[in-house]
Amino acid sequence: MNVGLLNLLNGVLGSYTRKTGDNYAFHCPFCNHPKKKLEIHLVSHKWSCWVCSAKGRKLYTLFKRVNANQEQLQQLSQYVPKMVTPTKEERTNISLPKQFIPLWEERPKDFLWNTCVEYLQSRGVDMCDIQKYRLGYCEDGTYKDMIIFPNYNRYGQLNYFTTRSFLRNSSTKFRNPPHSKNVIGFELQVNWNLPVVIVESALDAITIGNNSIPLYGKIIPKRLKEKILTSDVSKLYVALDSDARNDAVEHCRYFMNSGIEVYLVDLPNGADPNSLGRKRIRELIDHSEMMVEDNLFELQIKSLL
């Protein structure tokens, strides 16, 4: 029994009653039922009310919802090793290239506009996707002949963008801005109450669609880690390219150790979500299995062989 954590919960929620195993009951601060109907599992940190159905998988979420003070949040971090306090939203001075041309504004007589749209269509991206993600391109400047994939935070503010050449014979496929990648990919389109899929590129995320987050690489940004750990994401799917299997396994282990339900999407060798296409990658996601420690060990052994 974690006496320190119990004392902290007592200070935040009031007196408690021990139930079966590691479950403890408190008065629910959301429905104010006269009996102690809010149960907390002291080991897994899951909590739920039997009356109003308020629930969560992290004590941090509960503490935030009841407006626990900063001192109580800091004390909680002593008992929940993987708990993190989200960093404040950073304001950026990032702007799109001045040569940016919106692709959703149709220019059927323009050769480069047509070339760009045809390229995207060949990668499974249609006009609805172009409008949803506000894609554009440049005809000259630093990002000449590049598609621009903007990244907006939850407030609709631009905080990053990535690029990709739409000319098939181009010697330079990517040219990204000199800005920090510590952002949440496509955050404006994410619903944190639903399962989340993490992928490598913007094209991969657009291919999968709903709640898919590009990492803009193989490493999970600190800001994204914090958001996943402090939100109520029910399931996390890891769908990195096949050549990033070791990175994917480590990401799975990190979030599993934090009590999150994780699924590793098994992509064929040489494939990425975009190359597989929307239908096939969604099938692989739907049929992926929840990871357990034995799965991770087996995958690590295979990677060594």
The two three-digit tokens of residue 115, written as one number: 């070339």
DSSP state of 301: H
State the chain's mean pLDDT as an integer. 88
Share of the chain above pLDDT 90, in %: 55
**Strand 47-49, strand 38-41: pairing:** antiparallel
Residue 89 banded pLDDT, cuts 50, 70, 90: low
Q: How many CB atoms within 10 Å of residue 300? A: 15
Instruction: Tally Cβ neighbours within 10 Å of residue 117.
Output: 23
Q: Check if the beta carbon of residue 228 is closer than 8 Å to that of residue 61.
A: no
SS3 content of the chain, % helix, strand, coil (to 5): 35, 15, 50
Q: pTM for this structure?
A: 0.71
Q: Residue 149 pairs with which residues in a beta bridge?
A: 162
* Overall average pLDDT of the 197-218 stretch: 95
Of all residues in the chain, the percent with pLDDT exceeding 70 is 92
CA-only gyration radius of the chain, Å? 23
Average pLDDT over residues 264-283: 93
Question: What is the pairing mode between strands 100-102 and 136-138?
Answer: antiparallel
Distance from C-alpha of 273 to C-alpha of 203, rounded to nearest angstrom = 8
| Close Cβ partners of 58 (under 8 Å, ≥ 6 residues apart) | 45, 80, 83, 229, 230, 232, 259
Contact 227, 249 (CB under 8 A): no
Would you state the pLDDT for residue 26? 94
Q: Would the pLDDT of 67 be above 90?
A: no
Q: How far apart are CA 292 and CA 254, in angstroms?
A: 12
pLDDT at 284 over 80: yes
Name residue 135's beta-bridge partners. Answer: none
Residue 187 has a pLDDT of 96
Closest CA to 95 of 148, 139, 145, 133: 148
- What's the rounded Cα separation, in Å, for the pair 4 and 2? 6
For the chain, which domains are there?
A: 3-79 (3.90.580.10), 100-165 (no CATH), 187-304 (3.40.1360.10)
Residue ranges of the alpha helices (H) in the chain?
Answer: 3-13, 59-65, 70-79, 111-122, 127-133, 202-208, 222-230, 245-256, 273-276, 278-286, 293-304
User: Phi then psi for 162, rounded to 5 degrees?
Assistant: -125, 165
Rounded CA-CA distance 267/18 in Å is: 46
Q: Where is average pLDDT lowest: 46-60, 122-136, 206-220? A: 46-60
The size of the chain, in residues, is 305
Query: Is the pLDDT at 9 greater than 80, yes or no?
Result: yes
